[in-house]
Amino acid sequence: MQPFTQNIIQIIRSIPKGCVMSYGQIAACAGNPRAARQVARALHSMSEKHDLPWHRVVNAKGEIAVKEPSRQRDLLEKEGVVVIHDKISMRDYQHDDPLCFEE
């Protein structure tokens, strides 16, 4: 596994309950701010294998961006995140990860 991918996994695992991070934020913290799509691919292919809290990752606008938003919405709401029209307030719930690997 590439170091960038390992960083992605570590960062996603570090998102606490009740918080979210964006794909781009994770990419930047993992060391490549232009790799948001790579974060999405890694999350899609590895979330089950690595037991990642996939539901805590949203797009840069705070919107749920998965095919079936109801499951993600339900999981976030169980953690205390307020979701209105499939959107989360990044100001209120965004996690600033201390594990950032950015330079």
The CATH number given to whatever domain includes residue 57 is 1.10.10.10
Residue 17 zone, left/alpha/beta (φ > 0; ψ -120 to 50; rest): beta
Q: Examine residue 60 and state whether it is found in any structural domain, yes or no.
A: yes
The 10s digit of each residue's pLDDT in 45-90 is: 998 899 999 999 999 999 998 888 999 999 999 999 999 999 999 9
The per-residue pLDDT for 71 is 94
Q: Which residues contact 70 (CB under 8 A, 6 or more apart)?
A: none
Residues constituting the chain: 103
Q: Examine residue 1 and state whether it is found in any structural domain, yes or no.
A: yes
* Spatial CA neighbour of 92 closest among 100, 101, 83, 51: 83
Q: Examine residue 34 and state whether it is found in any structural domain, yes or no.
A: yes
Q: Is the pTM for the entire model greater than 0.85? A: yes
**pLDDT cut 70: percent of the chain above it:** 93
What is the domain range of residue 11?
A: 1-92
Dist CA 19 CA 79 (whole Å): 8
The vertex-76 CA angle with 10 and 52, nearest 5°, equals 25
Total count of domains within the chain = 1
